[in-house]
Amino acid sequence: MFNLQANNTTIKTEILAGFTTFLTMAYIIVVNPIILSDAGVPFEHVFIATIIASVIGTLWMALFANYPIAVAPGMGLNAYFAYSVVGANDQIGYEIAFGAVFVSGIIFIILSLTPFREKLIEAIPANLKHGITAGIGLFIAFIGLRMSGLIVAHPENLVALGDLQSPPVVLTLVGLGITIVLMALNINSALFLGMITTGIIAFFTGQLRFDDGITSAPPSPEWFIFGSPLQAFVDVVQYGLYAVVFSFLIVTIFDTTGTMIGVAEQAGLIKNNKMPRVRQALLSDAVAKTVGSIFGTSPTSAYVESTAGVAAGGRTGLTTVTVSILFVLAIFFSPAVNAVSGLPAITSPVLIIVGSLMIGVVADINWKEFDEAFPAFLIILSMPLTSSIATGIAFGFISYPLIKLVKGKGKEVHPLVYIFGVLFLFQLVFLPH
């Protein structure tokens, strides 16, 4: 079913890759409810909705697309939901906002059923695709540095070196050193073994504690928080939420598309600038987003942390089946998941190392041609600095056709790149993001 032999992988490798991906993204189970609770959504509702959306999207990706790419509610999108959509407007409650997510999800599904998104992926120039992959690499490495405390905020220089004597930073450096040694020795499952070893050290040094126990009873899910599908469309019209729906739509399209390109390229799954079974892969996020809104969570996205599983050897949907199973188990082991995901030192070394592996594609960018190199450079630079994959892609889509036009090469640009260049410019200038 998963064509393990054709993809040069094994059951053991795929399962360990699934564990690696899950451990690097498990924080979303706790962080997403915390953020959405600021919009008034009950923590328990978001907790179970986060898991339901993640399981549905990730399983769809596994069974229909056979890709090692996990899907879950997206960071950034949840903050936009909580603070820009609900928090900034007293008339918009979270129920109405979930309706807007549902409407954008339905539009998303329709677009994914057409050749539109496939054509979009094919329309993205190869150098921009390499830039997206490298930008994602820097982005997740920066996430690892920031979450661990190795890099901290600075009032003048924005970022600075953290306290190298603090226990979390020391643990991160120890975990990074162990994982680097395992990688250098070409030991199988080096990333996973590095996390396990770091977790054991954290437990015996008192940094990893299970004060709330290991297991707990799961909360009951709620259906159609926004009332009904018809009510969702009525509310969008009544409250004029067109810009909100558009923002949810365009950000999720390019967050997911960019992440899929980056992960697939890292795994060697893109052939001749094309991604096999791309329609099924894109549908996974569209379906998860729609179902997630029904149960009460913000839009989903393909998860950049999937690169950790790919670096651990994951090449097929068996990796994401494993991730889905672990999400289901997390319903019953939420205190343990909370404890592990609350200690970034366990997962940060993996993100830093995976970032170093992904940045290698910069060698494939045509640096000799300014009109090809500069848009790719903008993507690479802006993704970590704006903490947004979609914003990085936006800068690339805006600058690429402009420079081509100035150089008299406008006919080389696909019409879709022009269209989305204009849409991105409009979104960045006039809409909240």
How does pLDDT run across 243-261, given as a tens digit for each residue? 888 878 887 887 788 888 8
pLDDT for 94-104, tens place per residue?
Answer: 999 999 999 99
Distance CA 285, CA 59 (A): 11
Report the DSSP beta bridge partners of residue 152: 160
Over 60: is that where the pLDDT of 332 sits?
Answer: yes
Label each residue of 113-168 as H, E or C: HCCHHHHHHHHCCHHHHHHHHHHHHHHHHHHHHHHHCCEEEECCCEEEECCCCCHH
pLDDT at 161 over 90: yes
Instruction: Identify each DSSP E strand in 184-332 by its residue range.
Output: 300-302
List phi, psi (to 5°) of 151: -120, 135
Angle at 192 between CA 187 and CA 195, to 5 degrees: 120
Q: What does DSSP assign to residue 312?
A: T
Q: pLDDT (tens digit, 9 = 90+) per residue, 107-138?
A: 999 988 888 877 887 888 989 989 998 998 89
Nearest partner of 106 among 291, 257, 303, 300, judged by Cα? 291
3-state helix, strand, coil in the chain (%, to 5): 70, 5, 30
pLDDT of residue 189: 78
Question: By the 8 A CB rule, do 327 and 58 touch?
Answer: yes
Q: Which residues contact 163 (CB under 8 A, 6 or more apart)?
A: 149, 152, 169
* Dihedral sign, Cα of residue 190, residue 195, residue 196, residue 201: positive
Q: What are phi and psi of 271, to 5 degrees?
A: -120, 125
388: CB partners within 8 A, 6+ apart: 76, 382, 433
| 297 vs 94: CA distance, rounded Å | 10
Is residue 376 within 8 Å of 397, Cβ to Cβ? Answer: no
Q: Which of 272, 192, 162 is nearest to 24 (CA)?
A: 192
Q: For position 433, what pLDDT does the model report?
A: 56
The three-class DSSP label of residue 73 is strand
Check residue 122 and give its pLDDT.
Answer: 81
Q: Count CA within 13 A, CB hemisphere, residue 148.
A: 29
Mean pLDDT, rounded, for 180-207: 91
- Counted residue by residue, the chain has a size of 433
For the segment 269-320, what is each residue's pLDDT rounded down to a tens digit?
887 777 888 889 989 999 999 999 999 999 999 998 899 999 999 999 999 9
Q: At 302, is the secondary structure helix, strand, or coil?
A: strand
First to last CA, the chain: 40
Q: How confident is the model at residue 179 (pLDDT cuts 50, 70, 90)?
A: very high
Instruction: Give the model's pLDDT for residue 118.
Output: 78
191 DSSP assignment: H
In tens, the pLDDT along 376-422 reads 999 999 999 988 887 888 899 999 999 999 999 999 999 999 998 99
Strand, coil or helix: 300: strand
Alpha-carbon span 389 to 312, nearest angstrom: 23
Residues in contact with 379: Cβ distance below 8 Å, sequence separation at least 6, in sequence order: 128, 131, 132, 134, 135, 392, 393, 395, 396
Structure token pair of residue 4: 């393990």
Instruction: Sort 42 into a burial class: Cβ within 10 Å, 0-12 / 13-18 / 19+.
Output: middle
pLDDT at 366: 95
- Give 6's contacts (C-beta < 8 A, 6+ positions apart): none
Residue 175, pLDDT > 90, answer yes
Q: Residue with structure tokens 């980056």?
A: 262
Reading the block at residue 63, the tokens are: 């069974």
Report the C-alpha gap between 363 and 258 in whole angstroms.
19
Q: CB–CB of 237/231 below 8 Å?
A: no
pLDDT score recorded for residue 415: 93
